[in-house]
């Protein structure tokens, strides 16, 4: 056995692990030793280990006690070890727990799970997004990246906070960007809109550079930056100003229409707007063929998505193809 290699490996373990291994080795060694020293008092190795645990932890139940001089010397060593190392182990464990908790609170602890959602930028939109996503799926892992916050803004939610600049690789690595499922880049509404969009695009480039397969949703404020955002690799672009303007136009022309839009987008309601893959049995069939079938399933088809093209209220003769998706309102 190469003892230098073993010692080197042992030295690489965290202090809490090394202390735990020391305690385990001492307890097992002492338990086995006392069994062979006084087999009548400790008829099994288990009883010897039980005595070593009780003695090292300085509990001292008194159900077992060595009678020989050698046994008492061993007990003295175990007691001294218990007062020192075991107490230090408990103190170190408590300190490590507090340190980890503070690091998590202040955004210093790295995220190690995968398949998670990353939201960049803290604002009212990202706050509502996190709350709604977790209501829909309480087990969903969400990582928030923001450099302006000093601690996690949502204390009662299962969200991992990373404090740092999203343009820096170290911050993105701490968010485990390589194994993320989706990333949403929110725009900074405080300041120049063009500068905000430029920063969002640079952030997008940083994300795609570390994980080219990451699905990204980018919020932009100016339509002039849409092409640049597409060139940078955005999978989906949300033009906040345009969406808000269109909602205002429709509300101006048709009073109260904004509440209808809200109902369609609100997933907590009975009706949800979503995509549904066209079943293979409908390939090559006209739209009319499946519309009635879906109505019996409490699904109202309002359009067809074919690649990047959306056709709302398609004609009855519209022929369905493979990879088409229904745009449905589901009860």
**Domain range summary for the chain, segments of one domain joined by +:** 3-105, 117-243, 270-330
Strand partners, 303: 312, 327
User: Domain 117-243 belongs to what architecture?
Assistant: 3-Layer(aba) Sandwich (3.40)
Provide the pLDDT for residue 295: 73
Global pTM?
0.70
Mean pLDDT across the chain: 85
pLDDT > 90: percent of the chain: 34
C-alpha separations of 120 from 16, 163, 182, 317 in Å: 34, 10, 11, 44
Q: Which CATH number fits domain 3-105: 1.10.20.60, 2.60.40.10, 1.10.287.70, 3.90.1150.10?
A: 1.10.287.70
CATH code of domain 270-330 = 3.30.70.1450
Q: How far is CA 287 from the centre of its chain?
A: 40
Provide the pLDDT for residue 302: 85
* Encoded tokens for 318: 């519209």
Residue reference for tokens 């906070």: 161
Q: pLDDT per residue over 133-174, tens digit each?
A: 888 888 899 999 999 999 888 876 678 999 999 999 999 999
């Amino acid at each position: 056995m190469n003892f230098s290699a073993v010692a080197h490996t042992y030295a690489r373990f965290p202090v809490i692990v090394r202390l735990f291994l020391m305690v385990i080795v001492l307890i097992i060694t002492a338990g086995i030793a006392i069994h062979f020293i006084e087999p009548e008092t400790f008829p099994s190795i288990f009883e010897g280990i039980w005595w070593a645990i009780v003695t090292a932890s300085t509990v001292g139940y008194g159900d077992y006690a060595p009678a020989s001089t050698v046994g008492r010397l061993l007990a003295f060593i175990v007691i001294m070890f218990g007062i020192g190392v075991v107490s230090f182990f408990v103190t170190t464990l408590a300190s490590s727990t507090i340190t980890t908790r503070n690091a998590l609170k202040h955004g210093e602890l790295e995220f190690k799970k995968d398949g998670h959602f990353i939201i960049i930028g803290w604002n009212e939109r990202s706050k509502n997004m996190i709350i709604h996503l977790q209501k829909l799926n309480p087990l969903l892992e969400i990582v928030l990246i923001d450099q302006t916050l000093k601690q996690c803004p949502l204390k009662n939610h299962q969200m991992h906070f990373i404090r740092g600049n999203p343009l820096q690789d170290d911050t993105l690595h701490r968010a485990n960007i390589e194994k993320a499922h989706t990333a949403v880049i929110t725009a900074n509404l405080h300041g120049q809109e063009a500068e905000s969009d430029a920063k969002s695009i640079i952030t997008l480039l940083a994300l795609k550079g570390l994980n080219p397969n990451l699905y990204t949703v980018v919020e932009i404020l100016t339509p002039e930056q849409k092409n640049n955002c597409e060139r940078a690799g955005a999978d989906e672009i949300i033009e906040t100003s345009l969406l808000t303007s269109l909602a205002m136009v429709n509300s101006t022309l048709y009073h109260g229409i904004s509440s209808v839009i809200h109902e369609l987008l609100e997933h907590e309601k009975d009706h949800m707007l979503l995509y549904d893959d066209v079943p293979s049995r409908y390939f090559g069939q006209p739209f009319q063929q499946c519309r009635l079938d879906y109505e019996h399933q409490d699904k109202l088809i309002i359009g067809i998505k074919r690649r990047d093209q959306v056709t709302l209220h398609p004609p009855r003769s519209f022929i369905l193809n493979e990879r088409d998706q229904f745009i449905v309102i589901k009860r």
